[in-house]
Amino acid sequence: MTHGTLGGLLVTDLVQGRDNPWRGLYDPGRQPLRAGGEWLRENVNAVLQYRDWVRPAQVSKVEDISPGSGAVLRRGLHRVAVYRAGDGAVHAYSARCTHMGCVVRWSSEEKSWDCPCHGSRFDARSGVVLNGPANAPLEPYPLEDGD
């Protein structure tokens, strides 16, 4: 009840451009000091995941991917997330996560593309977002003959 009243007062002041003494205390972007260690650990982990851009590809050709499985290929500067369905159909997308650009990884348990940075998941066949924070699908990647 108390916080509902405070919320009403805060929102009214924010909408009208007035200062409010509780603004900093209830700011959704605040970082409590005791959470600093955890925040730092999570962000260092996310930054380390960008190493995938310079690592070797998992496989070099689509034919090396077992039916019903996926792998990340390298094509020049691009990383391509390729899913080879059980019926042999090939679904290829840019492996760049649409949230903040980490390289997605194949999840054999979920049969989806999962981002190691913040946990977004994408459908293997369509590239659509299954779980955020990403809010846009993976971009289709046109494979050429011989890929």
Nearer to ligand FES, 47 or 90 (CB): 47
Using CB under 6 A, which of 65, 93, 113, 120 touches ligand FES?
A: 120
Work out whether 75 is an interface residue with ligand FES (CB under 6 A).
Answer: no
What minimum distance in Å lies between the beta carbon of 133 and ligand FES? 5
Site for ligand FES in 90-109 (CB under 6 A): 97, 99-102
What minimum distance in Å lies between the beta carbon of 117 and ligand FES? 4
Using CB under 6 A, which of 129, 134, 138, 141 touches ligand FES?
A: 134
E strands in 11-133: 69-75, 78-84, 90-94, 105-107, 112-114, 121-123, 129-131
What minimum distance in Å lies between the beta carbon of 139 and ligand FES? 14
**SS3 at position 74:** strand
All residues at 6 or more sequence positions from 136 whose CB lies less than 8 Å from its CB, including other chains:
98, 129
The 10 Å Cβ neighbour count of residue 54 is 7
Using CB under 6 A, which of 118, 126, 143, 147 touches ligand FES?
A: 118
Residue type, 49: Q
Nearer to ligand FES, 10 or 81 (CB): 81
| Beta pairing class for 129-131 and 78-84 | unpaired
Of 135, 50, 136, 132, give the one whose Cα is nearest residue 93. Answer: 136
Q: Which residues bind ligand FES (CB under 6 A)?
A: 97, 99-102, 115, 117-120, 133-134
